[in-house]
Amino acid sequence: MRIDSWQIEAFGPLADWEETDLARHDLFIVLGANESGKSTLFEFLTSVLFGFSPARAQDHPYKPWSGKFPAGALEVVLADDRCAHIARRLTSRAEGRLSIDGIEDDLANRPVPWVGQLSRAVFKNVHALTQDEAFGLDQRAWQAVQDRVLGGSSYDFLRPSLEVVDDLESRRTQYWRPDRRGKPQDRQILDRIRELRGELAPAQGRRTRIEAINADLTTVEEQLHEQEGELHQTELALERDAVLAPLLRRVDRMRDLDRKATALVASDELSADVTADRLSLSVMCSDLADEIGKLESEVEVREQLRKLEDSDVRLIKHRERIERLDRTAARAEADDHRVQRMDASLQRIEGSLQELAERTLADGRLSEPARQLLVQISVVELRGRHREWNDRHRQAVDAASALAEAKRIRLQQESEMVESESDLRDLDERLRALRQAQLSIPTRPPASALLMPALTWILAAGTFAGLIAVVVGLVLGGALGIALTVVGVVLGLVLGLMLALYRLAGRRSSAAAVPLALTGQLQSLGIEAGADLDAEIERARTARDNALRQEGLKALHERAKRDETDAGGLAADLKAAAGEARSSFLSLVAALPLAPIHRETPDDTLVRNLESMHRVIDDGRKLQKDRDGVQQHLKDWRADVETLRVELAVELSIDPFDAVSITRRQLETALKAQQEAHSAAAEIPEIQTTLVATRDQLVVSGVRLEEIDAALAALDPDAGDPARGLELLERARELRAESVRARTELDRDSADWHERVADAERLIETGEVIGLSDEERVTIRRQRETTQSQSQDLADERGSLRTEREALTEIPGPAHIAGEIAASEDELAFVRREHDQLAMVQQVIRLAEQRYREQYQSPLLNSAGVYLERFTAGRYDLLTVDDADPSDVQLQVRRSGDEFPEPVAPPLSRGTIQQVYFALRLAMVEQVEGEEPLPLFLDEMFVNWDPDRTASGLKALAHMTEDRQVLLFTADPAWAERASTEVGAHIVRTPDLAS
């Protein structure tokens, strides 16, 4: 198979790299700097041929830096010249397509078919050679390499077989050894089992002893039980003597007391303290009688309180009215004061009216009709009409003023107007002619134009004079010279000025000449020759201006006349309007007897007075109305008081307010009396109920007293005397009380004395003796002490047996030891099995190593010998092995012409050893691949070899290319060029160098 082209879309750092037309090159060099992607290219080619590993994009070590999915394609030419196109892509799953002869096949992630059984790992190991593999080979490293290469572990992913076997041996012997060396786990476990078994017998002995202890304990328990029984009997007898006998005696005494009491009084149904009862009943009857008397008097008192006086009845009857009058008294008094204030106000109002009437009305008096009229006048209307009149009047006055002004202006203008002698047109013509004539006269320069020449003359003269003065001054020198200089300058300036003036006058004079051509024209205008034209022009201008002014005055005059006419009309209209407004206003007050002056000139004062009078009258009426209302309320209240006085039929104060107050107090007194009567009436039933109950109680107590006396008398059957009966009763009760005390003591001393007494009586019935004699007591006590001592001894013995049994139980028993033994035996079986399995692994590897050598080593060496001969240019021609010692197989090489080979080891040179190594590697390539020879990848091969060796190496490569395509990776451009030159290698540059 030969690579023809590759298209790397994205793979690690490589992206969009395409190379074509490579199949025709047997040997091409991939030139690129370190880390430029040469190894990546190899991985890419491997992935295309064998599929992606791992087959997941996120796990792949060559994830594209661009973030895309790894993808690319390869075109190859197979040995039978067929072209194949292989495309791969790794997304969420690996995709692959193979196209041969137009037939497409889905590869998925499978290797291409022509790699056969060759695995990716083997391909990468065998078809990729690096300089590093052999560059640093020293004796030890070469030995390791030799072992690997000669053995079946000639791949970097496999450990040397011997090394593995040694490791397994080391591990295996930790588990078990057939000899007695060391202390493998097996022996340790056996020792432990032996110890445990040795402990079994003692454990059995302990178990037996535990059983014996159990039997002894049973016996001791039984003896103790028997002892306890005996002890119980002695204790029982003593207890009977100590407890039961005295108990029986006490019970007998108690029963005797009861019998005696019954003999005296058979049945005691009376209370415990009869005497006290009799006394208390007597006292009670007496108290009840007294109580009854008190209750009866209370009833009588309350009957009296229930009655009320007639006067109080009447007051109570009129309670509501009295209270109402009392509530309204304060208000009535206030109303009274208010009426007085109102009357005063009315008087003041009347006074104001009168004053206003004097100022406003004709007779100075406000009659009732006039009052009525004033009230009827609408103040708003009055004010409005007066305002109207005022406005009209003012306008008329203003119009009259305007008329007068217009007239004045007219008159003034008329006074200013003067009849003009000439027409304005004529004057304009004259003036124009005069100017024209002036223009004809040579131009006289203006005064300003003469200024510069004047100054020039002044300066020139001054300068001349100054120079002379300076010269003289210099000649003379000193102060005199300076003085002369100054005088000279001044004289010069004066002289210049005079000359300038002279020149000016001359110019002006010469400018005043009038040409003869214009003299006639001027004469037509009435100007004689030689007249001052300028003056004439001035006169003409003035005349024209006057004429113009007059014209203006005429226009003004006309307009003033029109204005005066207009103002006259307006004034007349306004005057008429003012008159009408006045009449309208006066019509409102026509009926009033106004003073003449007001009628003639009704001004603001009139209006204000009328308004005031209207308002005052109106206020007065309202006040009167209020006053009348209050007065009526007061009057009604007083009438009500008077009515009350009559109905109560009592003498009251004349002042109604005092009368109401007194009556109020009397009413309160009557109400109090009424309340007391009600309370008394309410208490009477209750008191009467109490009275009845008390009477009943008195009856009951009396009956009870009689019963007690009868019962006591019955106790004395002879005399029937209650006193005697009482004595007998008391005596019987004393006896019973004593019996009760005896019972109480028994209960306190022995709660179960009833049962004990019953038991004792049963025992007595059966013939048992409860009490003991003194001798018997002593004997039994001694017997008890003996029994207690024996029991204590037995208890001690029981305690020690239990202690011993607990101690023995703490130690693991036979079952526990048997369990330990069983567990250890399980562990032993596990350890031995582990050993056996490791031993089998060892055996498998040894056998595999041997089989490998038998099957593959010889062809490998032959093929390697051929390569070696090529590499060494025939200096060495044979590779073989010395396997006399299977544990130390040595590779040997034969120099051409020698009879015997020598070990591949020093003193052979390192370079020769390297050549042997590469020869072996190349032989392996042939050995592992199938029918389709795959490309070989060499990384920096021969770069560090000396020139001769390099040359021979390159020649060997050239031979290899007869069978397969070879790719050389290097970062050395010089070496690449050399290879290209010597063996015709094609150079392919990695993208960074190409760009």
Partner 1 sequence: MRIIHAADIHLDTPYARRSDAMRHRLQAAGREALIRLVDLAIGEEADALLIVGDLFDNEWLTIATERVLGDEMRRATSAGITVVYVTGNHDPGRANYRAMNINWPEQGFHLVNSRQPVEIPIERSGATVGFVVGAGHQTPQETLNLAESYPTAPRSAPAVAMLHTQVTTSSDASNHEPYAPSSLADFGGKGYAYWALGHVHKRHVVLGDPLAIYPGNIQGRDFGETGAKGALVVDLASGALPEARFVPLAGVRWEILPVGDLAKARSIADIHSAARTAFEDLVTSDGDLLADQQWILRVSMSGPCPLVDTLRRDEERNDLAEYLRDALGVLDLEVRDDGLHRLLELDEHRGQQHVLGVALDLVESARTDADSLRQLEPAALANGDAYPEGRKRQDYLQGLLKGIDVAVAESLLREERE
Any contact of residue 585 with partner 1 (CB under 8 A)? no
Any contact of residue 470 with partner 1 (CB under 8 A)? no
Q: Which of 412, 653, 843, 909 binds partner 1 (CB under 8 A)?
A: 843
Stretch that binds partner 1, among 4-12, 102-110, 309-317, 824-832 (CB under 8 A): 824-832
Least spacing, CB of residue 215 vs partner 1, in Å = 8
- Is 794:227 a contact under the CB 8 Å cutoff? yes
Instruction: Name the token pair of 614.
Output: 């209207």
Least spacing, CB of residue 53 vs partner 1, in Å = 9
Any contact of residue 807 with partner 1 (CB under 8 A)? no
Least spacing, CB of residue 848 vs partner 1, in Å = 4
Q: Which residue has the tokens 């309160």?
A: 668
Residue closer to partner 1 (CB basis): 321 or 832: 832
Any contact of residue 836 with partner 1 (CB under 8 A)? yes
Work out the widest C-alpha separation in the chain, in whole angstroms: 217
Instruction: Name the token pair of 165.
Output: 């076997």
Any contact of residue 842 with partner 1 (CB under 8 A)? yes
Least spacing, CB of residue 19 vs partner 1, in Å = 30
Rounded CA gap, 616 and 356, in Å? 10
Least spacing, CB of residue 178 vs partner 1, in Å = 4
Q: What kind and span of H or E run contains 323?
A: helix 319-360
Contacts with 6 (C-beta within 8 Å, 6 or more apart), sequence order: 17, 18, 19, 22, 41, 44, 45, 48, 72, 73, 74, 75
Rounded CA gap, 848 and 860, in Å? 17
Stretch that binds partner 1, among 208-216, 322-330, 567-575, 686-694 (CB under 8 A): 208-216
CA angle 165, 171, 173 (to 5 degrees): 100
Any contact of residue 190 with partner 1 (CB under 8 A)? no
Any contact of residue 186 with partner 1 (CB under 8 A)? yes
Q: Which of 849, 926, 939, 940 binds partner 1 (CB under 8 A)?
A: 849
Rounded CA gap, 596 and 517, in Å? 91
Q: Amino acid letter at 436?
A: Q
Stretch that binds partner 1, among 11-19, 160-168, 669-677, 783-791 (CB under 8 A): 160-168
Any contact of residue 833 with partner 1 (CB under 8 A)? yes
- Is 373:614 a contact under the CB 8 Å cutoff? no
Distance of CA 651 to CAs 416, 642, 753, 948, Å?
111, 11, 100, 172
Question: How many chain residues interact with partner 1 (CB under 8 A)?
Answer: 61
Residues 212-231: x where in contact with partner 1 by CB under 8 A, - otherwise, as a string? --xx----------------
Any contact of residue 12 with partner 1 (CB under 8 A)? no
CA angle 973, 975, 979 (to 5 degrees): 115
Q: Which of 562, 782, 851, 959 binds partner 1 (CB under 8 A)?
A: 851
Q: Which residue has the tokens 């009592």?
A: 650
Residues 72-111: x where in contact with partner 1 by CB under 8 A, - otherwise, as a string? ----------------------------------------
Instruction: Name the token pair of 843.
Output: 């055996």
> Residue 97: phi, psi to the nearest 5?
-135, 140
Q: Which of 5, 119, 688, 697 binds partner 1 (CB under 8 A)?
A: 119
Residue closer to partner 1 (CB basis): 483 or 822: 822
Contacts with 420 (C-beta within 8 Å, 6 or more apart), sequence order: 546, 547, 550
Query: Which one, of 753, 773, 750, lies nearest residue 761 by Cα?
Result: 753
Least spacing, CB of residue 156 vs partner 1, in Å = 7
- Is 903:890 a contact under the CB 8 Å cutoff? yes
Least spacing, CB of residue 14 vs partner 1, in Å = 23
- Is 864:927 a contact under the CB 8 Å cutoff? no
Any contact of residue 284 with partner 1 (CB under 8 A)? no
| Cis upstream peptide for 907 (omega within 30°) | yes
Least spacing, CB of residue 852 vs partner 1, in Å = 5
Phi-psi region of 338 (alpha: psi -120 to 50; beta: other; left: phi over 0): alpha
Least spacing, CB of residue 835 vs partner 1, in Å = 4
Q: What kind and span of H or E run contains 436?
A: helix 424-440
Stretch that binds partner 1, among 115-123, 457-465, 543-551, 579-587 (CB under 8 A): 115-123
Any contact of residue 829 with partner 1 (CB under 8 A)? yes
Least spacing, CB of residue 50 vs partner 1, in Å = 10
Residue closer to partner 1 (CB basis): 167 or 296: 167
Q: How far is CA 554 from the centre of its chain?
A: 97
Residue closer to partner 1 (CB basis): 807 or 840: 840
Residue closer to partner 1 (CB basis): 77 or 848: 848
Virtual torsion, Cα 191, 196, 199, 201, nearest 10 deg: -110
> Residue 158: phi, psi to the nearest 5?
-115, 140
Any contact of residue 155 with partner 1 (CB under 8 A)? yes
Residue closer to partner 1 (CB basis): 209 or 508: 209
Residues 855-894: x where in contact with partner 1 by CB under 8 A, - otherwise, as a string? xx--------------------------------------
Residue closer to partner 1 (CB basis): 187 or 539: 187
Residue closer to partner 1 (CB basis): 164 or 514: 164
Rounded CA gap, 475 and 494, in Å? 24
Any contact of residue 176 with partner 1 (CB under 8 A)? yes
Least spacing, CB of residue 255 vs partner 1, in Å = 49
- Is 806:204 a contact under the CB 8 Å cutoff? no
Half-sphere exposure of 208 (CA within 13 A, CB side): 6
CA angle 461, 466, 467 (to 5 degrees): 105
Any contact of residue 156 with partner 1 (CB under 8 A)? yes
Crossing angle (nearest 10°) for helices 310-317 and 656-715: 120
Crossing angle (nearest 10°) for helices 774-810 and 185-239: 170
Any contact of residue 965 with partner 1 (CB under 8 A)? no
Contacts with 343 (C-beta within 8 Å, 6 or more apart), sequence order: 627
> Residue 886: phi, psi to the nearest 5?
-60, -25
Any contact of residue 124 with partner 1 (CB under 8 A)? no
Q: Which of 39, 47, 153, 485 binds partner 1 (CB under 8 A)?
A: 153
Residue closer to partner 1 (CB basis): 854 or 962: 854
Any contact of residue 900 with partner 1 (CB under 8 A)? no
Any contact of residue 927 with partner 1 (CB under 8 A)? yes
Q: Which residue has the tokens 């060892």?
A: 842
Pairing status of strand 27-31 against strand 902-903: unpaired
Residue closer to partner 1 (CB basis): 159 or 762: 159
Residue closer to partner 1 (CB basis): 215 or 263: 215
> Helix or strand or coil: residue 530?
coil
> Residue 772: phi, psi to the nearest 5?
-120, 155
Least spacing, CB of residue 993 vs partner 1, in Å = 31
Any contact of residue 149 with partner 1 (CB under 8 A)? no
Q: Which of 305, 818, 908, 958 binds partner 1 (CB under 8 A)?
A: 818
Least spacing, CB of residue 159 vs partner 1, in Å = 6
Any contact of residue 845 with partner 1 (CB under 8 A)? yes
Rounded CA gap, 990 and 995, in Å? 9
Any contact of residue 820 with partner 1 (CB under 8 A)? yes
Residue closer to partner 1 (CB basis): 709 or 820: 820
* Binding footprint of partner 1 on the chain (CB under 8 A): 117, 119-122, 151-159, 161, 164, 167-168, 175-176, 178, 186, 207, 211, 214-215, 809, 812-816, 818-820, 822-823, 829, 831-833, 835-845, 847-849, 851-852, 855-856, 927-928
